[in-house]
Every structure is written in C-alpha cells, then in structure tokens.
Amino acid sequence: MLPFHLRNVETRRIEHRPIIPTTAIMPLSPSAAPATPTRPPHVPLVPVLSGASFRRAAGQRLPSVLDVPHVRLVTSGRIALALALRELGVGEGDSVLLPAYHSLSMVPPVLWRQATPRFYRVDAAARADLADIAALCDASVKVLVATHYFGFHQDLAALRALCDARGIALIEDCAHAFFGEYGGRPLGSHGDYAIASSMKFFPMYEGGVLVSARHALERVALHSAGKGFEAKVVLNTLEHSFRYGRLPAVRALLALPLRAKDLLWRRIKASRPAAAAASGGLAPGSSDSDFSFDPRWLDKRSSLFARWLLGRLSKERIVALRRRNYLRLQQALAGLPGCRPLHAALPDGVCPWLFPLVVDDAEGAFARIRQRGLPVVRFAETLWPGVDADRCPDSAYLSRHVLAFPCHQELSEQEFDWMRAGLAEVLAP
Ligand SMILES: Cc1ncc(COP(=O)(O)O)c(C=O)c1O
C-alpha cells in the first residue's frame, strides 16, 4: 500500500496550474529544520473544511464584497463577470478593457457578449497602467475591468476618475480580494459592479459573487441548479476535506454511503458512459479548475451548502489567519537572494489570497518546489493569445516569474511550518 501522503494525492486542481505533489516527496534534512516531521504533510492549496473552520477568532474586522448593498450569489467569478457585462448592456461592437496580466477565465465572458477584449498594461507591481488605459479608450470601449491581484487593491480613486471622465463603466475584479477596503469602503463598492470568487477564500466547492453599490440586481434572476448539484457540492466539499485528514468523525460516519456511491458511480460509468459524461455537468467547470465558461450556469444560484458556509464561517478568523500566515511567509522568504515579495509590505485593509513571490530563476525554483511536493500556484502562467511582451513587458515577466504560496486560514500549524521551512530551503541558493 502507498504511504499515507501519496495515497492522498490531490485530484482536484485549482486554476493557474497549482502544483500538487504527485512525485516522490523527500523529507527535509533534520539539520535544516529540526521540527520537521519525518512524514511530510499533504498541504492543501485551497481552504479545506474542518472543525476549526467554524471557530471564531477575534481580529481586524475587514469588510467583504458581501457588505455592498446589492448581492447575488452565483457559482463562480466568471459567471458573475458575464452577468455584470450583461447588466451593462455590453454587446457586439463593444470593447472591454482587461488587464494584460489575467486569468484565462476572464476572457470567455467578454466573448460570450460578442464584445472584443483589449488588454491594458500593468507595471512590475501589477498596478494598472493609467496612461495605457487612457490611450486604449476609444468610442468602442464600454467597460474597464480592474483586478485586485492577490488581495492588494488597485488605485481605485484614479481608476474611478478615469472611468467617469471617459464615460465607461468600472468592474472591480475581487476574485483575489473577497475582503478588503479602500478609502474607508469595502472593495467591490467602488465599481459599477464587482465580482468575487468565494472558492478562493472559503472551504467550498463552488461559489461566485456579483455585487453592486450602484445598481439593483433585480434582473439577475437565479434558481437552484437542482438536487444533483446540491448533493454534489456537499459531497465534494467533504471528500476534499477527508483527503487532507479533516473531519475524521464525519468521514467514518459516511464511509459506507460514500463507498456505495463510488461503486454505483463506477457502474454507471461502465454501463452508460454518455449518462456519466452528462452528469459531469452537475457542477460548473470552474469548480474543477478549468478555464471554461458555460452560459448554462448564468441563472444558477450558488448551492445551499455554500451559502450556509458563507453565513456561518467567521470572517474575522479568515482575515486574521491569512494576514498572520502571509506575514510569517514574508518573514521566512524575504531577504533570500534571487527573489522578492511582489509587495514590500502587507498594508492594513488587505486580506491576501496567496503570498506572491517574484523569483529570478522561477523555472528552476518551480522544479525544485515540485520535486519537494510543496504547494505552489502560478497565476496567469498562460496569457491569452496575442498578449505578449510587446503588449505588456511587465505582464509577460510576472506571468513567468511569480510563484505564489498558500496562506489560507485552513493550514494547520504543522502543514504551515513544513511548507515554510521547505520553501526557505528550496529557495535558498
Ligand atoms: C483575477 C481573476 N478573475 C476572475 C477569475 C474567475 O473566477 P472563477 O474561477 O471563480 O470563475 C479568476 C479565477 O481564478 C481570477 O484569477
């Protein structure tokens, strides 16, 4: 039988080629990290549900996108983006300004509206280039999408002023910034609309948010995606947790029903492959980490389970632990030669998605990180065809050189310490 950490190899990926250990995992040498366990933990790249998820924690109360007056809970951020574009009446002949440093999932909603995506520059710190945006603004441009990368906000005052002066709408892309404030107001409240991706901050299998501080969302009518979807969300959330050794009592309780479900599923797959493939559509592609966009999810409400978790889990705890873990990584990794944090400091009012590190020899470090079985995300590793160093040198550079590491609230102390020590060692010369 395989050793524990290899048996539990992650099968669910998250976007932007997160790298989950699938190769041999070597223990750290005792001299490098005396406290390192001999059996390396299997570190969850995204939040996993556990008993601890329900704990309360005192900490900085940061607003979230949910603190904006008009809210719709959908199944992914890209669906929310498509709905925002639809609300704005974007259509054929229109252009939408997207950042050259982007997730591939941001483009299909624009194409679905039959509009043209045009890519504006960001600088070396991933700040939107206002002069380039102004230069791109012609009569066809209807919307600017501004992304708060890794949880760090853009200069919203300047972007808002530019959009107002040009008569174009601003969509805040809070996919990486579920929490945070700018100018004393929640992120998401400065745009005409804002979108967020709940899965990146909460231990859940699906979830996206469309909000607006300016416009009611009455036309966005949503309904349940059905019992199969509701059940799948619960099961997938739980099974993901079990894979990381969370919720052992629930796992024991559900062992038999889950085995029966697996058996039944295998039989269906063998006897009716077409039916099995169709039921793959029980959840959106975003939940299984591809960049696809399926308009059939536009009118689907987020699951009951995800909505219950959103209301139940302590937001203070999420913010406090993410900030704490980020600062610990910053301390451990800052000063290593050949790499630097994308951001020199973690300002008040920021709740990070990941810890982004700019690495000179990113490919070499990436290979060593993979070999060690350490978790890593390469956001925007692949850019939309045509978006290259000529269009935006800094985006091209960031897409190749940023390696990002989890700092989420569901990392156990053991997992976090092992990851931190391993990264410090792997990134040292
Ligand atoms: C910057 C950015 N915007 C939008 C999205 C779309 O979010 P979702 O995956 O929830 O559809 C992503 C996804 O990773 C993203 O990174």
Residue 198 Cβ < 6 Å to ligand 1: no
- pLDDT confidence bin for 57, thresholds 50/70/90: confident
Q: Which of 419, 276, 262, 428 is nearest to 354 (CA)?
A: 419
Task: Compute the distance from residue 426 Cα to the ligand 1 centre, in Å.
Answer: 29
Query: Is the predicted pLDDT of residue 401 greater than 60, yes or no?
Result: yes
CA-nearest of 414, 409, 423, 429 to 50 is 409
**Is 132 near ligand 1, meaning CB less than 6 Å away?**
no
Our mutation pick for probing the ligand 1 site, out of 76, 83, 103, counting the most ligand atoms within 8 A of Cβ, is 103
Fold of 4-59+314-427: Aspartate Aminotransferase, domain 1 (3.90.1150)
CB neighbours of residue 141 within 10 Å? 21
State pLDDT tens for residues 308-328. 999 999 999 999 999 999 999
pLDDT higher than 90, residue 30: no
* Block residue for tokens 């808002």: 160
Q: What's at 6, amino acid-wise?
A: L
Location of each CATH 3.40.640.10 domain in the chain: 65-212
Angle between helix 362-372 and helix 393-401 axes, rounded to 10 deg: 30
Q: Is the CB of 208 under 6 A from ligand 1?
A: yes
Q: Where in the chain is the domain with CATH 3.90.1150.10?
A: 4-59+314-427
CA 105 – ligand 1 centroid, Å: 6
pLDDT tops 70 at residue 14: no
In this prediction, residue 20 carries a pLDDT of: 37
Q: State which ligand 1 atom lies nearest to the alpha carbon of 16.
A: 14
For the domain covering 65-212, report its CATH number: 3.40.640.10
pTM of the full structure: 0.90
Q: Which atom from ligand 1 is nearest to the alpha carbon of 379?
A: 16
- Check whether 32 has a pLDDT greater than 60: no
Instruction: For ligand 1, say whether the CB of 103 is within 6 Å of any of its atoms.
Output: yes
Asked if pLDDT for residue 35 goes beyond 70, the answer is: no
Own/partner contacts of 51-56, CB < 8 Å, gap of 24 or more, are 51/246, 51/247, 52/410, 53/203, 53/313, 53/409, 53/410, 54/312, 54/313, 54/314, 55/314, 55/317, 56/314, 56/316, 56/317
Tell me what pLDDT residue 23 has. 29
Q: Is the CB–ligand 1 distance for residue 148 below 6 Å?
A: no
Task: Give the distance (Å) from ligand 1 centre to CA of residue 81.
Answer: 9
* Helix, strand, coil shares, percent, the chain, to 5: 40, 15, 45
Least reliable range by pLDDT among 9-13, 68-72, 198-202, 213-217 = 9-13
What is the per-residue pLDDT for 262?
82
Phi, then psi, of 36 in degrees rounded to 5? -70, 130
pLDDT reported for residue 269: 74
Ligand 1 contact via 95 beta carbon (within 6 Å): no
Q: Whose CA is nearest to atom 8 of ligand 1?
A: 77
d(C-alpha 360, C-alpha 151), whole Å: 23
In this structure, which residue's CA is closest to atom 16 in ligand 1? 103
Q: What is the 3-state secondary structure (H, E, C) of 124-191?
A: CCCCECHHHHHHHCCCCEEEEEEECHHHCCCCHHHHHHHHHHHCCEEEEEECCCCEEEECCEECCCCC
Contact 122, 128 (CB under 8 A): yes
The C-alpha atoms of residue 229 and residue 133 are separated, in whole angstroms, by 40
Mean pLDDT of 22-48: 55
Q: Is the CB of 237 under 6 A from ligand 1?
A: no
* Model pLDDT for residues 346-378, shown as the tens digit of each residue: 999 999 999 999 999 999 999 999 999 999 999
pLDDT band for position 264 (50/70/90)? confident
* Mean pLDDT, residues 8-30 taken together: 34
Q: Given the CA of residue 200, which atom of ligand 1 is nearest to it?
A: 10
pLDDT over 90 at 279, yes or no: no
192 lines ligand 1 (CB under 6 A): no
Residue 211 phi, psi (nearest 5): -135, 160
Whether 172 is in the pocket of ligand 1, judged by its Cβ within 6 Å, is no
- Whole-number pLDDT of residue 146: 98
**Mean pLDDT across the chain:** 89
Given this model, what pLDDT does residue 38 score? 52
Query: Which pLDDT does position 21 carry in this prediction?
Result: 35
Separation CA 359–CA 336 (nearest Å): 10
Answer whether 141's CB lies under 8 Å from 165's CB.
Answer: no
